[in-house]
Amino acid sequence: MMEARDIIIRPIVTEKSSNLMPLNRYTFVVHKKANKIQIKEAIEEIFKVKVLDVNTINYVGKLKRVGRSVGRRPDWKKAVVTLRDGDHIEIFEGL
């Protein structure tokens, strides 16, 4: 089983994710093989909050070219986590 810090890779801080914060929704990049239950448990363990819902989105890496060489950006997974009213995550507050 993966540790909580291995499941949650980093927060996503964009204009779109910032607009979700007043609705108690926070966005994270998570491990590709993590499921919703593991993501929920990891968020609750790391930030000591109550998670109501987890939505996940799988992204396929884009093809990129440099001259004749063709490469691919890595695939990744995003999780949008909804928290209980009154709960919040401090790392986002100062941004």
pLDDT string in tens for the chain (95-residue length): 789 999 999 999 999 999 999 999 999 999 999 999 999 999 999 999 999 999 999 999 999 999 999 999 999 999 999 999 999 998 766 55
**pLDDT for the residue numbered 50:** 97
User: Any idea what the Cα angle at residue 17 is, between residues 93 and 65, rounded to 5°?
Assistant: 125
Amino acid at 42: A
pLDDT of residue 1: 73
Q: In sequence order, what DSSP letters do the residues of 4-42 get, joined into one string?
A: HHHHEEEE---HHHHHHGGGTEEEEEE-TT--HHHHHHH
What do you get for the CA distance between the two ends of the chain, in Å?
32
**pTM of the complete model:** 0.90
pLDDT the model gives residue 8: 96
Query: What are phi and psi for residue 12, nearest 5 degrees?
Result: -105, 120
Q: How many CB atoms lie within 10 A of CB 84?
A: 11
pLDDT the model gives residue 68: 95
Give CA–CA dist 30/70, Å, rounded: 26
Which residue ranges form the domains of the chain, and what is each CATH number? 4-93 (3.30.70.330)
CA 14 – CA 48 distance, rounded (Å) = 23
pLDDT of residue 91: 73
